[in-house]
């Protein structure tokens, strides 16, 4: 992905985050975090699946923009999803080396529309054929970013106006019921994501323990 495209995508995230009051748990920092994990998975998967080189723009674009139509921040998901589609389509028009294959823009929309944890739990994985691995890369990158325990606390406090201790307890339950079970629930298909699950789970459990010790002293 060209640097100018990368900058334009980041600008969109900034613009929509301000417009939709998307807090830091799902804004620019989160988009960059998901991109980082997506790139890490991609670099490993592309060794055995060289066709992914042709899909890299799809992967990176979806990773960066995926939360700019999140139902936690908008009552009109379809409109915001279409806004993403039109923005990406416009960038493709003025940048001939971006999303060069027919259907690439549609695939960005399809990945973003079907990758959320709740939709996968409800409907299962979509069948995106030759783009299935690209879909899983973005989806699993988003899952890996969710192992950040403090991010979960921040979301609870800012979105639901709770105290730190209340947010901590809610986040702890969420991790026990969701994040720590990603592997056993069959949500992680790439080798990288499965390795990181063990590392990130251990880190999150340590963070929970330390915060719990801190709170118990107060």
> What pLDDT does residue 218 have?
64
Q: How far apart are CA 100 and CA 92, in angstroms?
A: 8
CATH class of 1-138: mainly alpha
> What pLDDT does residue 20 have?
95
> What pLDDT does residue 96 have?
86
Residues 6+ apart with CB under 8 A from 33: 145, 148
Q: Could you write out the DSSP letters of every residue in 162-218?
A: --HHHHHHHHHHHHHHTGGGTTTTT---SHHHHHHHHHHHHHHHHHHHHHHHHHHT-
Q: In this structure, what are the phi and psi dihedrals at residue 195, rounded to the nearest 5 degrees?
A: -65, -45
Q: What's the pTM value of the predicted model, to 2 decimals?
A: 0.95
pLDDT (tens digit, 0 to 9) for every residue of the chain, 218 residues total?
888 899 999 999 999 999 999 998 999 999 999 999 999 999 999 999 999 999 999 999 999 999 999 999 999 999 999 999 999 999 998 888 999 998 999 999 999 999 999 999 999 999 999 999 999 999 999 999 999 999 999 999 998 899 999 999 999 999 999 999 999 999 999 999 999 999 999 999 999 999 999 998 86
């Amino acid at each position: 992905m060209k640097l100018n495209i990368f900058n334009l995508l980041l600008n969109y995230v900034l613009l929509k985050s301000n417009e939709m009051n998307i807090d830091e748990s799902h804004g620019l920092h989160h988009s960059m975090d998901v991109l980082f994990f997506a790139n890490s998975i991609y670099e490993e998967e592309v060794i055995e699946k060289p066709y992914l080189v042709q899909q890299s723009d799809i992967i990176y674009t979806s990773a960066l923009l995926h939360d700019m139509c999140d139902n936690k921040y908008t009552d009109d998901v379809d409109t915001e999803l279409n806004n993403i589609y039109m923005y990406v389509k416009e960038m493709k028009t003025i940048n001939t080396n971006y999303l060069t294959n027919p259907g690439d823009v549609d695939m960005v929309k399809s990945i973003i529309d079907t990758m959320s944890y709740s939709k996968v739990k409800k409907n299962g994985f979509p069948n995106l054929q030759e783009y299935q691995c690209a879909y899983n890369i973005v989806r699993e990158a988003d899952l890996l970013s969710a192992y950040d325990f403090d991010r979960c606390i921040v979301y609870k406090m800012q979105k639901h106006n709770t105290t730190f201790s209340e947010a901590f307890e809610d986040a702890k339950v969420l991790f026990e019921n969701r994040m720590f079970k990603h592997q056993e629930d069959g949500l992680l298909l790439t080798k990288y994501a499965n390795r990181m699950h063990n590392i990130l789970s251990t880190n999150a459990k340590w963070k929970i323990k330390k915060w719990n010790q801190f709170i118990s002293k107060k």
